[in-house]
Amino acid sequence: MGLLEAILLGIVQGLTEFLPISSSAHVRIVGEFLPSATDPGATFTAITQIGTEVAVLVYFAKDIGRILGAWFRSLAGHSWWANAEASARSDARMGWLIIVGTLPIVLIGYTAQEYIRSTFRSLWLVAAVLIVFGLVLAAADVWGKKYRDLSTLTLPHGLLYGFAQALALVPGVSRSGATIAMGRTLGYDRVSATRYSFLLAIPAVMGSGLYELTTAFSESAQAGPFSLVDTAVATIIAFGVGLAVIAWLMRYISTRSFLPFVIYRLALGSLLFVLLGTGVLSPL
């Protein structure tokens, strides 16, 4: 696979990472229609996600800086906590909850590497979860109540968000889709659910991407079928496109529902079943 294909996949990664439609599924599917007709692989996908997570760091820079500052100060112990302003305590709590919410995907991701790189990338599975989790997102968005914001986020809810994020190890689930659906089920409004979803993804995605990057350097200077240079270009493009998508999505969800994304997921999953069933695509 060459540079032009890497550029296209970088655009796909940036466009789909933050929408609840699964970027890993789209990178996997688009790879089948490129001239090389090859799965870009889990390594390439994880590395290019560094670009989109850097976009999160840029977009939420003020929030992240405030949370990190409060979290580090909270390490001083009870005396700081007792004397801190409510907003500072809330930011410190958010830092701890992001750490707690990251634990499930770290544990599951570490123990399920064999499945992540093989079984989970079957297009039959991708098609099924696109549809199933599209319906889950629809149900959560329609029937989920809207009486919570991030100031009321609790430790159990942070863990539930974390387990929802871990489901995104299966291409087609969608990290943002699973965590937003969990948030809406727990009663958080769309903006709050999406905001925490993006913040929660930073440690897991950056950690996974950097791990895959160091592995690629140490083994063969390749990120799956791509060279590291091609992968770097794709990652930079994913950053730029992803930053624009975040800005658009945060405005969109303030007044609109997730229904268009649900319809898209159902249509894409159904089309994928047809293409697999007729032999146009191979599942692996």
> Where do the structural domains in the chain lie, given as residue ranges?
3-277
What is the residue-wise DSSP string for 128-146?
Answer: HHHHHHHHHHHHHHHH---
- Name the β-bridge partners of 148: 188
Q: What is the dihedral of CA 13, 19, 21, 27, to 10 degrees?
A: 0
Tens of pLDDT, residue by residue, the chain (284 residues):
689 999 999 999 999 999 999 998 899 889 888 887 778 888 888 889 999 999 999 999 999 999 999 999 999 887 788 788 888 989 999 999 999 999 999 898 888 877 777 778 889 999 999 999 999 999 998 888 788 888 889 999 999 999 999 998 888 899 999 999 999 999 999 999 999 999 999 998 888 888 877 877 666 656 668 888 999 999 999 999 999 999 999 999 988 889 999 999 999 999 999 999 999 888 87
